[in-house]
Amino acid sequence: MRKRILSSLLALVFCLGLLPATALAANPDSSIAGIPEGLEIEGTKVTGYTGDATELTIPEGVTEIGENAFAENKTVTEFILPSTLTTIGTGAFCHGLQQ
pLDDT at 80 over 60: yes
CA gap 81, 87 in Å, rounded:
11
pLDDT per residue as tens digits for the range 32-77 = 989 999 999 999 999 999 999 999 999 999 999 999 999 989 899 8
CA gap 97, 33 in Å, rounded:
25
Residues 6 or more apart whose Cβ sits within 8 Å of residue 40? 46, 47, 48, 49, 50, 69
Strand ranges inside the chain, DSSP E? 39-42, 45-49, 55-57, 64-65, 78-80, 87-88
pLDDT at 21 over 50: no
